[in-house]
Amino acid sequence: MKLKFNSSEPGLWVSGATHVVLLTAALVGLSAVHEFPSAEEGIPVEVITDNQFSQITKGEKTAKAVLQQPKPRAERVADKAELRDPGEDKRDVPAPPKRPEEMKVADKEETVAAQPPPPPPPPKPTQAEAEAKAKALEEEKKLAEAKAEAEAIERAKAAEKAKSEAEAKAKAEAEAKAQAEAKKVAEAKAKAEAEAKAKAEAEAKKVAEAKAKAEAEAKARKEAQVAKKLDMGDIKQFLENKERNQSTGATGAEVQKTASLGTATGSAAKLNPSQRDALMGILQEQMKRCFTPPISASAGNAVAPLLDVRLNPDGTLAQDPSVVQSGPNSTDRAVADAALRAVRRCAPYRVPAQYAPQYSDWKMLKVYFDPMI
């Protein structure tokens, strides 16, 4: 193709020139790429394990300041942990009014007005406390009885001694008087004998009084116990006791609404495996103490439930323990429930101070409860 301008066929030149001009215009005019309004890119999401989650200390970006001791978030204080066996009432019903102390009981013959009223029982004695108290009371009673007996014996001895002394005296006097005054012998003897007799009688009366007092005390105690018993006449009160459910929310041992900005160290301290085993042993041993496996689990084929236990740094429960995994049948569920109760009942747990720095590693525990152990 000869590139010479031909006026009758100017097409190539015209076309080439036009293209060059168009391209130049495009390069100049279109090179400024106008950008879209910038949109927020998607936030990358990372999936973390619950172990990592338990060790998060980075806090929230919107928080105001770094707290000295970051605590898990809690909107309100948790309700009291439920510590009752199945079948029992979920909460305490108000106690029925007590019988007045002066009121006569059917199997009592005497009033014991002089007795001091028995100390009122504490509002909610735990079983151990009640037992201890009963024991203490019994011991006291025994002691009092023993004391009374010893006193009575002593008094009797003293009476005998006095009697013998008086007799000796009387003899001596009688002898002396017989020597001095034969006339008054009979009188003096009679008098001495009467005196001794009166003394002995007074002593015996005292002993009887002490005995009566001890008996009266025992009676009064018994009466108080009877008065404390459930009165079926007050069952109306139980029936009228209807309470509503409370609202829920994130719960914790204490209210914590301020988030922390994070801590100086990015990640929490970790337990090493041997420390972890030791701590788990300590905690499980404490939990097992309260664990009473249901009788149906004694067959030996129950599945050990896996519990999720959250702890506070002081060893109290950060939140109600929950069953992560348990067997399918009712026995397994009963075992799981018993394990939950055991965990609640044994709180707070004693955690050795050496594990305090690694709190974030043991604040969330997974515990297996083997019913056969």
Quickly count: other Cβ atoms within 10 Å of residue 361's Cβ: 20
- The minimum distance between CB 20 and other proteins, in angstroms, equals 9
> For residue 198, what are the CA distances in angstroms to 183, 189, 192, 228, 252?
25, 14, 10, 45, 75
Instruction: Go through 320-330 and write b for each residue having 16 or more CB atoms within 10 A of its CB, e for each that does not.
Output: bbebeebeeee
Question: Which CB sits closer to other proteins, 9 or 107?
Answer: 9
Interatomic CA distance for residues 72 and 334, integer angstroms: 31
Residue 219 three-state SS: helix
Question: Which CB sits closer to other proteins, 18 or 225?
Answer: 18
Question: Which CB sits closer to other proteins, 33 or 114?
Answer: 33
Q: Which residues bind other proteins (CB under 8 A)?
A: 8-16, 18-19, 23, 26-27, 30-33, 41, 43-44
- The minimum distance between CB 266 and other proteins, in angstroms, equals 12
Question: What tokens does 355 get?
Answer: 């594990």
Interatomic CA distance for residues 56 and 360, integer angstroms: 8
Question: Which CB sits closer to other proteins, 18 or 354?
Answer: 18
- The minimum distance between CB 16 and other proteins, in angstroms, equals 5
- The minimum distance between CB 366 and other proteins, in angstroms, equals 30
- The minimum distance between CB 261 and other proteins, in angstroms, equals 16
Of the candidates 218, 156, 166, the one whose C-alpha atom is nearest the C-alpha of residue 190 is: 166
Residue owning tokens 């790429």 = 33
Question: Which CB sits closer to other proteins, 13 or 238?
Answer: 13
